[in-house]
Amino acid sequence: MSQAGTSGGGFQLTEALRDSPFMRACRREQVPYTPVWLMRQAGRYMKEYRDVRARYSFLEMCKQPEVASEVTVYAAHRLGVDAAIIFADILLIIEPMGLDLEFAKGEGPVIHNPVRTAADVDRVREVEDVSALDYVYEAVRITRRELRHDIPLIGFCGAPFTLASYICEGGGSKNYLHTKRLMYTDPGAWHALMSKIARALSQYLNAQVEAGAQAVQIFDSWVGALSPDDYREYVLPHTREVIEGVTPGVPVIHFGTNTATLLELMKEAGGDVIGLDWRVRLDEAWARLGDVAVQGNFDSVALFTTPEVVRRRAKDVLDRAANRPGHIFNLGHGILPETPVENVVALVEAVHELSAR
């Protein structure tokens, strides 16, 4: 990763952003305190978010830039975190690929024309350009203007495997039957699908950077369903293609859940920062990974306890990181809907206080 303040492709860093604790941690530089941000920090646990959500469907929120920006900025400023992440959804990119996406009430995402065969893969559109998602880039532009000048903004996408699993299953899954069946019985069709997804994702991430994001995160939420051998054969080359296609100089956070058996392979696929969930000890995982920054790994369910327990468990994560350069504090997954807001604020304050150098 380049450490220059500017690079090609529209990636620009002001001095305040370049020197922010979050960006310094991505580069594994010394920081005055451990930076913290939280996945799903703009979400249903906040009354202000629920008030906005009452007026719009989830997709409407994603597709109205002013609304997406409003909830992004409010959450970052309210919590006092060290980075914001744009409000969007990992599945937005599949609509330009010809998939019929709906967020059904109470059911989550539903894809009405899932991909199950080689013929289905053939009808998935190659995304020649990502202008259909301009509403995301406009949300990034507005957010960059409205955010405090020293808070970096993170753009993101779903990883190829996680998107392919949604596309094959037609929604969420526990066993990934359709996904693995295509993968195992027709590797050619599988790799063709993954390649189409990967080519679209690099463009999508770079368009977010061009609009004003300082870093990007790749969410491989479902990849823990795979064995290491299957990850290496069916996933790694495509995830690597996405990461290598990101604008030079832009930090890439590579995050997955249930990935204790895959960490070394995820590092091989790429990323300046590897996300850790709560199922691994941070110090042991970091020792396995070696020369890379890490992000994590507080258990989001612990936010349902008390401020005292939150503080104690935050200290445990920080103690395992031991002030080594390159730790970004986060949850092992997103904030859950019923989480008490005061405990989230207490977590952010505890991280800043306990990690002050």
Residue 283 is a catalytic residue:
no
Residue of 18, 24, 40, 313 marked catalytic: 40
Whole-model pTM? 0.95
**pLDDT above 90 as % of the chain:** 95
Tens-place pLDDT, residues 249-304: 999 999 999 999 999 999 999 999 999 999 999 999 999 999 999 999 999 999 99
Assess whether 89 carries a catalytic annotation: yes
Among the listed residues 45, 49, 166, 231, the single catalytic one is: 166
pLDDT single digits (tens) 45-89: 999 999 999 999 999 999 999 999 999 999 999 999 999 999 999
The structural domains of the chain, ordered by start, are 15-355 (3.20.20.210)
Catalytic residue among 89, 120, 186, 230: 89
To the query of whether residue 40 is one of the catalytic residues in this protein, the response is yes
- The crossing angle, in degrees rounded to 10, of helices 282-289 and 307-321 is 30
Please write down the HEC assignment for all residues of the chain.
CCCCCECCCCCECCHHHHCCHHHHHHCCCCCCCCCECCCCCCCCCCHHHHHHHCCCCHHHHHHCHHHHHHHHHHHHHHHCCCCEECCCCHHHHHCCCCCCEEEECCCEEEECCCCCCHHHHHHCCCCCCCHHHHHHHHHHHHHHHHCCCCCCEEEEEECHHHHHHHHHHCCCCCCCHHHHHHHHHCHHHHHHHHHHHHHHHHHHHHHHHHHCCCEEEEEECCHHHCCHHHHHHHCHHHHHHHHHCCCCCCCEEEEECCCCCCHHHHHHHCCCEEECCCCCCHHHHHHHHCCCEEECCECHHHHHCCHHHHHHHHHHHHHHHCCCCCEEECECCCCCCCCCHHHHHHHHHHHHHHHCC
pLDDT over 80 at 336, yes or no: yes
Contact 345, 308 (CB under 8 A): no
Cα–Cα distance for residue pair 322/343, rounded to 1 Å: 23
Which residue is catalytic, options 19, 27, 33, 53? 53
* The predicted structure's pLDDT at residue 12: 73
Side chain identity at 93, as an amino acid letter?
Answer: I
Helices 134-146 and 65-79: angle between axes, nearest 10 degrees: 40
Per residue in 207-231, pLDDT (tens digit) is: 999 999 999 999 999 999 999 999 9
Calculate mean pLDDT across residues 117-134. Answer: 97
44 is known as an active-site residue: yes
Selected catalytic residue, list 19, 33, 44, 281: 44
The whole-number pLDDT of residue 42 equals 97
